Amino acid sequence: MEAYLLDWLNLGVRWLHFVAGVAWIGASLYFVMLDLSLAPPQKAADVERGVHGELWAVHGGGFYVSQKFLTGPRGEPLSENLHWSKWEAYTTWLSGMGLLALIYWFGAEAYLIDRTVMDLPVPAAIAISAGSLVVGWIVYDALCRAVSNELALAVLMFVLVAAAAWGYSQVFGARAAYIHTGALIGTIMVWNVFFHVIPGQKRMVAAIRAGREPDPRPGIVGKQRSVHNTYFTLPVLFIMISGHYPMTYGHPHGWAILAVIMLAGALVRQYFVLRHVGRNVLALPAVAAALVLGLAVAIAPAPPGAPAAAGDAVPFAKVQPIIAERCAVCHAEKPTYPGFQQPPGGVRLDSPAHIKAAAARIHQQTIATQAMPIGNLTKMTDAERTLLGRWLAAGAKLE
């Protein structure tokens, strides 16, 4: 019953995380588009009111006009009815941390720790997990304060995130390493909002309402951090879905694969940013596509191979006990491994027919990437993987 209740709690928090993330990232992408698409105001009266730019749009059968004031309207009070875009970000981070705690802290033995990578006690693993997010933010924030050249800062940020991905891969299981890289990026994004964007906007609003000239520095910093956040969006979205693709995180150089995919995502985001200002630089998505295509070719696993010679053939009777002991304890109609209520991904390996049907998946995740068993919980040996691989290469015959 405990595992069943945890599954529902996991579902509820994950759903909240997804909905809040869609709302936050959608709003973020919209405001970037809006800000970059502004045209000079057409009416002299709007210029006198302090309108910096405007955008006319049509949507849902109606027409809209958005106007931007750099320091509030002139000759009239600032509206009391201001919409603040912050709770979408905060809810995304809080729900994401809830998922991290539910899955990777509460289930540290299954999902966080891989003893073939580093034999960590659970409290130490959780401390590294949480502490690394704080340390990563401190390093990022210090770089932003110390480096004034934005191009140099962008390179340093990429190096920071790639280094974090590598570091996590030296400590945690492969899947956990990816998720923690995403958690670090998400933490940087939300703490940018919490520590810089919103406080800067509050100081500006307070100054305008008090009749003072706003200090431009918080706005400049807030704008910088908002720009950083928009380039983080596509990489962090990939990480959110990466758990479905073990050929990425399960590769021996999974951290480098993630770095390439993050770079491709940033290039695609740059393409859309430039589109908003009227520049159609097709080279950017072309380079991104070439990077991903080249990556796919470079990491392609060797095929199962031709059927083994008769003398090398491995009968099903030899691999069935391995699958039963190392795989079916989780991948069964009623898993016996603690903490599993249903077979992960709906994949069952508790009968010859189910094993035969999943042969390609077994090869991909157990032989090619060795992503399964997750964290090698059931301690599958190299000799067992070799035997299983030979059986698969011979055609996965059940006799």
Condensed to tens digits (0 to 9), the pLDDT of residues 155-207 reads 999 999 999 999 999 999 999 999 999 999 999 999 999 999 999 999 999 99
Q: Which residues contact 222 (CB under 8 A, 6 or more apart)?
A: 196, 197, 200, 201
Closest among 150, 152, 106, 148 to 129, alpha carbons compared? 106
Residues 50 and 93: their CA atoms lie apart, in Å, by: 36
Q: Considering the entire predicted model, what is its pTM? A: 0.88
Q: Give the count of beta carbons closer than 10 Å to the beta carbon of residue 26.
A: 11
pLDDT tens digits for 255-310?
999 999 999 999 999 999 999 999 999 999 999 999 999 999 999 876 655 444 44
Buried b (16+ CB within 10 A) or exposed e, 124-133: ebbebbeebb
Instruction: For residue 153, give both structure tokens.
Output: 């800062």
Domain edges within the chain: 37-69, 85-265, 310-393
pLDDT tens digits for 98-134?
999 999 999 898 899 998 899 999 999 999 999 999 9
Closest among 338, 333, 114, 141 to 221, alpha carbons compared? 141
Residues 192 and 313: their CA atoms lie apart, in Å, by: 58
pLDDT tens digits for 47-68?
999 999 999 999 999 999 999 9
User: Which residue has tokens 């998505």?
Assistant: 285
